[in-house]
Chains A and B, each alone.
Chain A
C-alpha cells in the first residue's frame, strides 16, 4: 500500500492502494468513477479508455504507480456541463445500443479528434479498431465521428 495523488478531471484525489493496481480499479472501486468500464483486463476491448495527458489510453493495464503527475480525464470529466462535440454527435446519431462500451468509444473518439480534427474513414478504422462494440454500432460510430468533426470545424 502506498499513497498516491492522482489528478483526475482537474482535481487531485488521494488514493491509498498498491502501486501495481490498474488505474481502472482505482477509478471504479476506490473513487467511485464508474463511467469507465471493465471489459477484458488485457487491452483488447477499449471499454476502459481514459485520457492521460490528453491521449486515449486503456486504464486496465496502466498502474496507479506509473502515472505520477500526469493528468487523467475520465468520461465524467470530458464535459462536466452538458455534452462535448463527440457526445452530442453520439446523441444526434443515436449511437448506443446497450451502451456499455460507449464511454470508452467516446474517450477514444475524443482523443482521435484532438490529434486529427478531420479524420478519414481509414483514420477512424485505425484508431477505433482498439474498441470493441458487441452490439455492432460501428456504422453509427463512424457517422458520429464525422459529424463531431464537422461541428468542431464549423
Chain B
C-alpha cells in the first residue's frame, strides 16, 4: 500500500529532515504488555510508535503500523495524530507501514489493543511534539516568543500581528529543532476529531472495489496456486498421482510441500480444479477422535486433580451451607473463524530477497517467518500488509504464509497461494472446545454459598512465529486463555474455587485465537451459572447480579443502564423472554439484554440491548460498528457455531454446513456507549461474549430450557 523509502532506526528516533525537505517526526515509546494476548511469559518489551511527515506541498502523511481488519484503526489512529498536530482532515494521507522488526514497535494487531496499549498517549505526543516544533520554527523566524503563537489547521499564527505561516513552509526549519520531550497535549475539550464520529477514510475505495485485499495482489508475472492439506490432523502425504491434475488446462506444477501438496497454475480456478483431481494417499497418523470422544475425554480430565486458577474463602465450608444445590456441566464446541477472505499469501522470492503481499494481523511475524523459511535476512524481506478480509484472530498465525513461501521457493515467478473455502474451514486454528463442571448453590438467604468450577479446554497450539500459542503456563499452572473469562468473573462470592484440567496432547485439533478468545466461551459458562443460581435462589436475575456488584462500579453501571434501556422492570411482551449477559474483558465493560421468542420450535432473537463502557472513545462511529459486529459474531456462535470432528478430521466445509448469521436474522440492536473519561479500553472484542449467555438465558426465561451445550441449533426448543 505504500512505497516509502526505508529509514533506519537511528534516523527514526531522532528528528530528521526528509527527502524533499519536509518534517518527519517519529515517536518511539516503550510500552509494557502490548502483546499480552500473544505473550504469556510477559517478557516482550512491546513498543509502539507513529510516524508523521509534513510535505512541503502541505500534505500530512500519517503512518499506521497496525492492521485494519474492519475495526477502523486506519481512521482512528490518524485522528489522534491529526488532532494534536492541528491539521485539516482533508490534508492527511494515511500510509500503511510495511513490516519492520523494530521501527514501529509491535505491529501485531490483536487483543483489542491498537488504541489502548500505548497508541493513545504515544500518538497524541507524536502529533503534539510536531506541532510544538512548528511553533518554535515560526517564532524563531518572526523573532517572537512561542507564547504569542498558536496554530490553526496547518498554520502557525502570531496573535499580536496576525501573521501566519503554513506548516509546509516551516517544515524544513522545524526539522532541525530537537524533539520536545514533554509536549503540551490538548485539553480534551479542545479535541476537534478525537471523540467525534468520523467516517472511515477507506470507505470510498472499498465501495468501488479499489481496496486491494490479499487476494487482489497482482505483481507482474503472478502465478496462482492452492494447497491441499491432509484432512486428518497430524497426517501427511504418503504418495500421490498428479497426472490428472496436470492435465487440467492451466495447471503448471504439482509438488509436495511440508503441509501438503501445492498446485500451481495460470489462474486460481485451474489450481482448484487440479487440486480436486489429485489422487493422494495419506499417512493418516493416529488421531482418530470424534467430537464425542473429545468431550468424553474432557469429562474424564474433569474428574482428575485440577490446578487452581482462583480461590476465595473456604469452598468446602461453603458447600456445607448450600440450601438449594446447582450442579451443571457446560460444553462449548470448536469454532472456525470463517473469515470472508480465505487464507492467502502472495510471495516473490528472488535470489537474495523476498517480497510478500499478505492480509495479516502480524506483519513482523510474517517477515520473520519468511526470512526463516526462505533463508533470507529479515531486512531483505519486504512485507506489504494488504487490506484484510476479516481477521478475527486467524491472521495472527503464519501457517498460510509458510504454504506460500514453500511454493514460491519452487517457482521462478511470484505466486499467490489461496486456500479454497473448504481448506480454510478444515485447516483453521479453532476456538478451543471447552468443558466446565459446576457444583455449588445458594444458602437459605438466597445468596451464593459455594461456587466450584472445574474448567477443561485445550491450550492454544503453537502455529509458527506469528503466534505464540501454547505458552499459557506449564503443567502446574492453569492455561490462561482457558480460564480467562472464568476467573475474571466480577461477582462477589464468599466461597469460590475455579480450577483447570489440562487435556492430554492426544487431542490434536489445532487451536488458535478467536475473537475475544477465552471469554468467547467462558462468559457464556459464567453468566449461565449465575443465572441458574439466581433462579435457584428464586431471585430476579438482574437484582441477583446487581447485589453482587457492589465493588465493581463500572460493570454495575452498564448493567443498570442496560436494564433501563431494555425496560427490564416491565415484563416482556407475551411469548418473549429476556436474558442478561455481561463481561469485563480487555479493558471493556459490557452488559447486554437479549429478547427472544420461540415459535414452533424456531428461535428468533428480536432485540439486543447493549451498553458498553470502553473508557474514552476515539471514534464512536467505528466503536459502535465493532460492538454490533461482536453481537453478530456472538449470535452466529450461539445459534449455529460448531466445528465437528469425525475420525480426526473436520466435517464442516463451507457456509452451507457452517452457518453464519444473515441479514434476515439480524435483530434490532440498541447500542449505548457510556460517557467515560477513563483511559481508552479495548472495543474490538468485549461485546462478543455477553451476547451468547444473554440469548441462552432469555431462552430459559421463556421456555424453562437451559442450554448447557452449544450451539442452540442442536436443541429442540
Per-position binary interface string of chain B over residues 371-383, scored 1 when its CB falls under 8 Å from any chain A CB and 0 otherwise = 0000000000000
Interface residue from A35, A44, A102 paired with B655 (Cβ < 8 Å): A44
Per-position binary interface string of chain B over residues 418-432, scored 1 when its CB falls under 8 Å from any chain A CB and 0 otherwise = 101100000000000
Residue on B with the closest CB to A18?
B249
Q: In the bound complex, do residue B341 and residue A100 qualify as a contact, i.e. CB atoms below 8 Å apart?
A: yes
Residue A3 lies at the interface, judged by CB distance under 8 Å to chain B: no
User: Chain B residues with Cβ under 8 A from A83's Cβ?
Assistant: 204, 207-208
Residue on B with the closest CB to A47?
B340
User: Chain A residues with Cβ under 8 A from B630's Cβ?
Assistant: 136
Residue A7 lies at the interface, judged by CB distance under 8 Å to chain B: no
Q: In the bound complex, do residue B218 and residue A34 qualify as a contact, i.e. CB atoms below 8 Å apart?
A: yes
Q: In the bound complex, do residue B662 and residue A98 qualify as a contact, i.e. CB atoms below 8 Å apart?
A: no
Residue B56 lies at the interface, judged by CB distance under 8 Å to chain A: no
Binds A, one of B21-29, B209-217, B284-292: B209-217
Per-position binary interface string of chain B over residues 656-668, scored 1 when its CB falls under 8 Å from any chain A CB and 0 otherwise = 1000111110100
User: Chain B residues with Cβ under 8 A from A25's Cβ?
Assistant: 267-269
User: Chain A residues with Cβ under 8 A from B388's Cβ?
Assistant: 98
Task: Name the distance in Å between A2's Cβ and chain B's nearest Cβ.
Answer: 10
Task: Name the distance in Å between A144's Cβ and chain B's nearest Cβ.
Answer: 10
Q: In the bound complex, do residue A96 and residue B341 qualify as a contact, i.e. CB atoms below 8 Å apart?
A: no
Residue on A with the closest CB to B75?
A94
Per-position binary interface string of chain A over residues 33-57, scored 1 when its CB falls under 8 Å from any chain B CB and 0 otherwise = 0111111111011010000000000
Residue on A with the closest CB to B216?
A34
Task: Name the distance in Å between A105's Cβ and chain B's nearest Cβ.
Answer: 9
Q: In the bound complex, do residue B70 and residue A34 qualify as a contact, i.e. CB atoms below 8 Å apart?
A: no
Interface residue from A75, A97, A131 paired with B71 (Cβ < 8 Å): A97
User: Chain B residues with Cβ under 8 A from A134's Cβ?
Assistant: 338-340, 390, 392, 633, 660
Interface residue from B72, B341, B654 paired with A42 (Cβ < 8 Å): B654
Residue A8 lies at the interface, judged by CB distance under 8 Å to chain B: no
User: Chain B residues with Cβ under 8 A from A91's Cβ?
Assistant: 199, 203-204, 207
Q: A34-B218, A39-B340, A98-B69 are in contact. Are A135 and B207 (CB under 8 A)?
A: no
Task: Name the distance in Å between A27's Cβ and chain B's nearest Cβ.
Answer: 11
Residue on A with the closest CB to B631?
A136
Interface residue from A41, A101, A126 paired with B420 (Cβ < 8 Å): A41
Please report the C-alpha to C-alpha distance between residue A7 and residue B187 in the assembled complex, in whole angstroms.
58
Task: Name the distance in Å between A104's Cβ and chain B's nearest Cβ.
Answer: 9
Q: In the bound complex, do residue A137 and residue B629 qualify as a contact, i.e. CB atoms below 8 Å apart?
A: yes
Q: In the bound complex, do residue B632 and residue A138 qualify as a contact, i.e. CB atoms below 8 Å apart?
A: yes
Residue A132 lies at the interface, judged by CB distance under 8 Å to chain B: yes
Residue B200 lies at the interface, judged by CB distance under 8 Å to chain A: yes
Interface residue from A22, A44, A125 paired with B656 (Cβ < 8 Å): A44
Residue on A with the closest CB to B337?
A134
Residue A103 lies at the interface, judged by CB distance under 8 Å to chain B: yes
User: Chain A residues with Cβ under 8 A from B420's Cβ?
Assistant: 41
Q: A21-B269, A22-B269, A34-B216 are in contact. Are A101 and B340 (CB under 8 A)?
A: yes
Please report the C-alpha to C-alpha distance between residue A39 and residue B342 in the assembled complex, in whole angstroms.
7
Residue A58 lies at the interface, judged by CB distance under 8 Å to chain B: no
Please report the C-alpha to C-alpha distance between residue A21 and residue B251 in the assembled complex, in whole angstroms.
13
Interface residue from A37, A131, A136, A137 paired with B341 (Cβ < 8 Å): A37
Q: In the bound complex, do residue A100 and residue B203 qualify as a contact, i.e. CB atoms below 8 Å apart?
A: no
Please report the C-alpha to C-alpha distance between residue A17 and residue B250 in the assembled complex, in whole angstroms.
9
Per-position binary interface string of chain B over residues 51-83, scored 1 when its CB falls under 8 Å from any chain A CB and 0 otherwise = 000000000000000000111100000000000
Q: A135-B629, A137-B625, A139-B628 are in contact. Are A29 and B267 (CB under 8 A)?
A: yes
Interface residue from B203, B266, B342 paired with A90 (Cβ < 8 Å): B203
Q: A29-B268, A32-B218, A103-B209 are in contact. Are A94 and B387 (CB under 8 A)?
A: no
Interface residue from A18, A96, A124 paired with B207 (Cβ < 8 Å): A96
Of the candidates B209, B387, B622, B662, the one having the most CB atoms from chain A within 10 angstroms of its own CB is: B209
User: Chain B residues with Cβ under 8 A from A138's Cβ?
Assistant: 632, 661-663, 666
Task: Name the distance in Å between A21's Cβ and chain B's nearest Cβ.
Answer: 5
Residue on B with the closest CB to A21?
B269
At the interface, is chain A mostly helix, strand, loop or mixed?
Answer: loop
Q: In the bound complex, do residue A141 and residue B663 qualify as a contact, i.e. CB atoms below 8 Å apart?
A: yes
Please classify how large the interface on chain A is, using the bins under 10, 10 to 19, 20 to 34, 35 or more: 35 or more
Q: In the bound complex, do residue A96 and residue B70 qualify as a contact, i.e. CB atoms below 8 Å apart?
A: yes
Residue B409 lies at the interface, judged by CB distance under 8 Å to chain A: no
Q: In the bound complex, do residue B629 and residue A136 qualify as a contact, i.e. CB atoms below 8 Å apart?
A: yes
Q: In the bound complex, do residue B625 and residue A28 qualify as a contact, i.e. CB atoms below 8 Å apart?
A: no
Q: Which of A120-154 contact B (CB under 8 A)?
A: 124-126, 128-129, 131-142
Residue A6 lies at the interface, judged by CB distance under 8 Å to chain B: no
Please report the C-alpha to C-alpha distance between residue A95 and residue B211 in the assembled complex, in whole angstroms.
15
Residue B224 lies at the interface, judged by CB distance under 8 Å to chain A: yes
Residue A106 lies at the interface, judged by CB distance under 8 Å to chain B: yes
Residue A30 lies at the interface, judged by CB distance under 8 Å to chain B: yes
Please report the C-alpha to C-alpha distance between residue A83 and residue B202 in the assembled complex, in whole angstroms.
14
Of the candidates A17, A129, A135, A136, the one having the most CB atoms from chain B within 10 angstroms of its own CB is: A136
Q: In the bound complex, do residue A28 and residue B206 qualify as a contact, i.e. CB atoms below 8 Å apart?
A: no
Q: In the bound complex, do residue B209 and residue A34 qualify as a contact, i.e. CB atoms below 8 Å apart?
A: yes
Task: Give the A-binding residues of B (Cβ under 8 A).
Answer: 69-72, 199-200, 202-204, 206-213, 215-216, 218, 224, 249-250, 266-269, 272, 338-342, 387-392, 418, 420-421, 621-622, 625-626, 628-633, 654-656, 660-664, 666, 669
For this complex, 21 residue pairs linking A to B, each with C-beta atoms less than 8 Å apart, are: A25-B267, A29-B269, A34-B218, A37-B340, A37-B341, A38-B215, A40-B655, A42-B654, A94-B200, A96-B203, A96-B206, A98-B69, A98-B389, A99-B389, A100-B387, A100-B389, A101-B340, A131-B663, A132-B660, A132-B662, A140-B625
Those 4 A-B pairs whose CB atoms lie nearest each other, nearest first? A35-B209, A136-B632, A97-B70, A100-B389
Q: A21-B267, A134-B340, A135-B70 are in contact. List 13 more A-B contacts (CB 8 A).
A: A21-B269, A25-B267, A25-B269, A37-B340, A38-B215, A83-B208, A94-B622, A96-B200, A96-B207, A97-B625, A101-B389, A124-B663, A140-B625
